[in-house]
Amino acid sequence: MGLVVVLVALVIVAVLAKDALKQYGLAPAKTTATKAGTPGERARAPGAVGAEALDLESAPTAPGAALDRARGVEDMLKRQADERATRMDGGK
């Protein structure tokens, strides 16, 4: 009985983790099936990217921004831990 409860809890955590990763942009969303067509149809399709449409000066994509935010939080936590350690050493 206990094993079943653990498995159910594991499934719930997996579903929540998947949703969180999608929300932060770290996991791919649902993929849509693409159908083959002529090269002209594929070039005119929404989302088709050509060499002239590529803009290297644009803002970074969401996964990069999410990783930058995570690194910023990590840096902040490290600074706070260092400050806390120096306060504790000075208080003795």
For the stretch 56-68, pLDDT in tens is 566 555 566 778 8
Structure confidence at residue 52 (pLDDT): 52
Question: Measured between alpha carbons, how far is 36 from 17 in angstroms, rounded to an integer?
Answer: 34
Number of domains in the chain: 1
Q: Tell me if 53 is assigned to some domain.
A: no
Structure confidence at residue 55 (pLDDT): 56
Q: Tell me if 24 is assigned to some domain.
A: no
Q: Tell me if 28 is assigned to some domain.
A: no
pLDDT band of residue 75 (cuts 50, 70, 90) is very high
Structure confidence at residue 8 (pLDDT): 96
Question: Measured between alpha carbons, how far is 1 from 27 in angstroms, rounded to an integer?
Answer: 33
Q: What is the pLDDT averaged over residues 80-86?
A: 92
DSSP label at residue 58: S
For the stretch 12-52, pLDDT in tens is 999 999 888 888 877 766 655 556 566 666 666 665 555 45
